[in-house]
Amino acid sequence: MPVITINKNDEIMMSLAHYFITKKDYVPINVQGAHDEVWLENIEGPYRVIRICAKSIYNDEQYNIDLYKIRYILKQIKRKTLSFKVPTLNICLNVNNKVNLFNRYDINSITVNSMEEIKENPALNNAFPDIKDNLIESNNNLDLIINVTNDISQKTEKSNKFFEKVFSPKKIIVTKVLILINIIMFLLMYILGNGSTDTMTLLLFGANYAPLVKSGQVWRLLTSAFLHIGLVHLLVNMYSLSIIGTQIENYIGKWKYIAIYIISAISGSLLSLVTGSSISAGASGAIFGLLGSLLYFGYHYRLYLNSVLRNQIIPVIVINLIISFLLPGIDALAHIGGLIGGYLSTMALGIEEKSHKRDKINGWITLTLYLAFLIFMVFFY
């Protein structure tokens, strides 16, 4: 049987990569032109990025050049994930003793030359207290390679299954039902009333109107989200709902989707009443709430979505908000209220594998305070 040998630095690199990927949920980053180095990322880790480098660094000039390259790659990561700071741990395995590994630009550089040094390094042990107990070691190089490869493959397979569970197409039911309800309500206003543009018909069917809401008809905060003023209004909103609602139903789940939609609709209606006194109706507030939900989801899954958050989700929100303020007859406050309500309700309800208990608690507290403030402004101010 052939003897497989790997050098000391490769062994250390494999052991560290194995630990960070399988125990700390870091994922590899594909860095073009990177040789003898591994880049890992975990948004929720004590270090956002970990770089393990086996290249030789003989003097301070080489180290400065290396830092410049790290900063360039980190700038790309910041742009991609809309991050202002990216704390980075730079683990160097082959550094001359005379080189000054100073820290700069949120980059903490350390050097380790053996497995024992990893277990004793204060920077590593402070950030990762269990590292000394979870490093894979073997006197047999072939066993080491097989074990590391198998463990990382199993971790990758598990991650891929979760990715497929979240992003795979699912049967769309809630969005279709919501669209159907809106269409039925639109038709009923013509069958039982004088049409969708008639003021009295809108009021009879539950449009949002400050004097009536303040007199006790609070159901209008929700029913108004299922009424539309004119065919164009209906078609535009139903098209938007079919696009955005399908994504939210796919990614977040049906029951959470229903809750987010209702909370966003009420939130939009409440903010609309803070300064407005005219009759208003439409699903726009709820739809903006879905955009807020998509923003929260996209931020937490930005590593999977690549540049979708920056190039698609945020521009769509900004453009629609600008249109809301520029075009006459559009209830911009309802859009803003829905957007905030959707974001906070998604934070409170949580998203699978990404939301911690403290995030949900903070979400519920913030959402409750936000809705309480709107209720106070509408009914008691």
pLDDT digit string (tens) for 332-370? 889 999 999 999 999 999 987 777 888 899 999 999 999
pLDDT at 307: 67
| Mean local confidence (pLDDT), 133-155 | 69
Q: Is 284 a catalytic residue?
A: yes
Residues 284, 293, 324, 345: which is the catalytic one?
284
> Where does the pLDDT of residue 159 fall: very low under 50, low under 70, confident under 90, or very high at 90 and above?
low
Residues 18, 233, 335, 345: which is the catalytic one?
335
pLDDT digit string (tens) for 219-264? 999 999 999 999 999 999 999 999 999 999 998 999 999 999 999 9
| Mean local confidence (pLDDT), 147-161 | 70
Q: Is 233 a catalytic residue?
A: no
Q: Give the other-Cβ count within 10 Å of 238's Cβ.
A: 21
pLDDT digit string (tens) for 1-48? 454 556 677 788 888 888 888 888 888 887 766 678 888 888 888 899
Task: Report the CATH number of the 174-379 domain.
Answer: 1.20.1540.10
Say if CB 266 and CB 222 are below 8 A apart: yes
Say if CB 39 and CB 49 are below 8 A apart: yes
pLDDT at 285 over 80: yes
pLDDT at 364: 96
Which residue type sits at 99?
A: V
